[in-house]
Chains A and B, each alone.
Chain A
Amino acid sequence: MVRRCLAGVGIAAYLSALLFGVIAHATHFHDASHPSMYFVVWDMFCGWSAYESRTHIVGQGVSGKYYELAPGPWADYHPYGDISRQHYDSFNSYPREMALNTLKHTRHEPMSRLLVVEECWAKKYNLPNPIWERRYTEKRQLFSYYRMRTEMTPEGVIVRNSPAWLAYQNNLTISDNPRLLREAQRGTPMFDVRPTRDVSWDSESFRPATLDQNVSLDDPALTPVARGQE
């Protein structure tokens, strides 16, 4: 009887946790408040983008030469398909760890800086030739866009961080509106000091961006989702 009661309590607790996960996900209530929420929120394939994204982690030696820091020069690890692990870091959270790990286990000249460069291209260029020829009359004009995401010291201290290429491009499209740009410029304080400023990305207010001015909002909905096997 005691075992059955314990089982009953366990069942009720488990079902409550599952129910809470569904409600939290449906209402966006604390759905990302703790890592444990990852175990009860079922948000597979929640994002999409029209551009394929890759991450290049590069080290610049004191000689001025550039070196590949991910994947390391040992056996490459492909978690799902045929692309390396660093390309699945959708939020640009761990390039420092990967770069320092490669430097730790290799012979190399002293580094002067470490860079994270994002590469993006339109997904239509992924289509194989037979499909491309049926879908398009023109020849493939593959073109990759690059954007510097992070610059670090050789010790891995971040000295510059920029939003993802997709968010930046999205910001450019919004800025392509003279009236909005004028109003936003009028409403932006000269000194960017806010006592109540939240440092999280999604509360960053809109800032007009131009090609020369890289400070921009980062819309999480447009963050490239490159997770495999979700």
Chain B
Amino acid sequence: MTKLEQQHMEQLLAAQPSLWHRVRDFFFSEEVPFGVAIVRMLICFACLLVTVPRWIHTRELYSLDGAPAPLAVNYGFYDLLPIPSGAVAVALMTVLTFCCVTACIGWWTRTSLLISAVLYTYLNLLDSMSTITKYSVITSHILVLLSCSHCGAVWSVDAWLKRRRLNLAMPRTMADYPMFAAWPRRLMQILIGVVYFGAAVTKMHTPAYFSGDQLLHWAMTNVNNSNPVGEWMTLFPAMLVVFAYLAIVWEILFLFLSWSGWGRRSMLLMGFAFHSMTTLTLGLYLFPITCISIYFAFTGSDDVVAWSARGRRWKRQARTGWKRRIATLVAVPQAIVRPIGVWLSQVAPRLTPAASGALFALSLMTVTVGAVEIEYRLDPYGERRAGGPHELREIPAETVQRMLAGDMKIREYDKFLAFDVGTEMFGGMVLGRKDHFHHGENIIVQCTLSPPHEDMWVECNLHDASDVLLDRVGQVVVRSQLRGNFLYRACQALESGTYYLVLKTGGQEITRRKITIQPGECAAARCQTAAQ
């Protein structure tokens, strides 16, 4: 390297910011908090999807007048958190719901978010059975981070009140918006990346995840909401193996690639697809809504400028066809909201922060007291109704007899999940089940077992159309195995016609599959040898 080249290299290195400067810029560069404002609105809406339906059950779930299930008990901490009385629990739940609404619209945003973060976490911790889950934990993190941010500085009632008070015009350019350090948004991005990374670690701890068995069984469960696509996908278990690998690769890469450019676009798109699939295949709703809400933390000021420009351009071009129809649809809410905004600007008083705070506190108190009274009158346990408290429901004697009949071993039939016949294997599973085979084709038979099962002797026998045993093949399937594979060859020793593959274990027939062997080209030498 010449001296000149060396000098040039040193200058280049000097021009590069140091790691410290890059980290500082990453967390403290200033931006308009559009991204966190969108997250604020969506995550508070997601909270409302939890709090509103549960409000009427508050007494039962979170109070001493019900059956709370504190999470801390599972960890051996029996009195970690105080459990409120019925009326206090209802009041707290109402305050939480109110604050989620005010945080969503951005009225006393920081206070609302702080109250929401504390109450949401506290009430969740009181019900480990049916309220606290990982999506609610993620929401708690986000509410805390939002309360540290300036997410109420834009697209909020607070911003509107401030503009009115200071007689400021609607912001037209980016320079008109306030700017703040980016670190709360960065922490949200890191959080979602770490959540995915942790989820990948969990999958690495679960060998059955990679064999597709875990996904297969989750797709068959009914503990979440309805999942018809998942149930349909159990017909194609090999496909689940492919999705399993794709998901874990995406979960690991997310934290490293989702920061800019094509990496960000592809990771977020894959995330959207992944969460949509969890809705369709597992029946999850709130988890996807929560995670996709956080994706908007990846929205920078530049993105909003670009989207606005694109929206305006699209609106100008939307003169014909479907674009025009969509533009009309979009214009309807605008046409409703705009006159209200104009009317409010004329009618609403110019509130000082103190007046706004007093109004906030007064509304909060009124709503809370009213809600406690309403809940009392609704009488969730029905204790004050005309006929007095409810009577217990009697269980029919035959049901009780079944329940108390005592333990029994698992039936042989229940130990088998599936019995598949095909010609190809993929990901350790039979690909493309079929019942018609040509001479020369492989007949792969696979029995899938459900754990737990003991070490088993499993037979897969070939019977002819009149049920005469032609071939008997058996193998030991040890308790750690979930699959037993049997290979037959449709050789010319077997005449064209109908046969049965009979699965047996413990000396009893479990199930059978009817197959048909048809004439065809028999290329395999072994097949011809067998025929001779």
Q: Which residues of A contact B (CB under 8 A)?
A: 4, 7-8, 10-11, 14-15, 18-19, 21-22, 25-26, 32-35, 37-39, 41-46, 48-52, 56, 58-59, 65-69, 72-75, 77, 79-83, 85-89, 91, 93-94, 97-98, 100-102, 105-108, 115, 117, 119, 121-124, 126-128, 131, 134-138, 141, 143-148, 165-166, 168-170, 172-174, 176-177, 211, 214, 222, 226-230
Contacts and interface: CB of A to CB of B under 8 A. Distances in A.
B438 interface: no
Contacts of A83: 222-223
> In the complex, which of the residues A25, A141, A214 has the most CB atoms of chain B within 10 Å of its own CB atom?
A25
Top 5 A-B residue pairs of the complex, sorted by shortest distance between their CB atoms: A42-B198, A50-B450, A79-B130, A73-B390, A67-B392
B417 A124 contact: yes
A4 B28 contact: yes
Contacts of A35: 71-72, 74-75, 77, 80, 125
6 contacts: A34-B77, A58-B400, A65-B394, A93-B73, A121-B414, A136-B511
Contacts of B391: 73, 106-108
Nearest to B213: A48
Contacts of B382: 73-74, 105
Contacts of B183: 7, 11
Contacts, number: 285
Nearest to A59: B392
B394 A11 contact: no
B363 interface: no
Contact of A77 (B28, B130, B413): B130
A81 B452 contact: no
Contacts of B202: 25, 42-46
B27 interface: yes
B181 A7 contact: yes
Interface of B: 27-28, 56-57, 60-61, 66-69, 71-75, 77, 80, 125, 128-135, 137, 140-141, 148, 181, 183, 187, 190-191, 194-199, 201-202, 205-206, 208, 213-214, 217-218, 220-226, 228, 231-232, 234-235, 283-287, 380-383, 388-395, 397, 400, 402-405, 407-411, 413-414, 417-419, 450-455, 479, 511-514
A10 B148 contact: yes
Contact of B68 (A97, A107, A165): A97
B290 to A, nearest CB: 10
Contact of A135 (B235, B389, B407, B455): B235
Given A35-B72, A38-B137, A81-B224, A131 B511 contact: no
Given A73-B382, A123-B217, A229-B133, 15 more contacts: A43-B198, A65-B394, A66-B394, A66-B397, A67-B392, A73-B392, A74-B390, A81-B224, A101-B66, A108-B391, A122-B450, A131-B234, A146-B405, A228-B130, A230-B135
B403 A72 contact: no
A93 B69 contact: yes
Contacts of A226: 223
A210 B194 CA distance: 45
A7 B17 CA distance: 22
Given A25-B198, A101-B60, A128 B400 contact: no
A81 B511 contact: no
A228 B134 CA distance: 10
A119 B402 CA distance: 10
Contact of B403 (A44, A119, A123, A131): A119
A137 B225 contact: no
Contacts of B454: 172-174, 176-177
Contacts of A65: 394
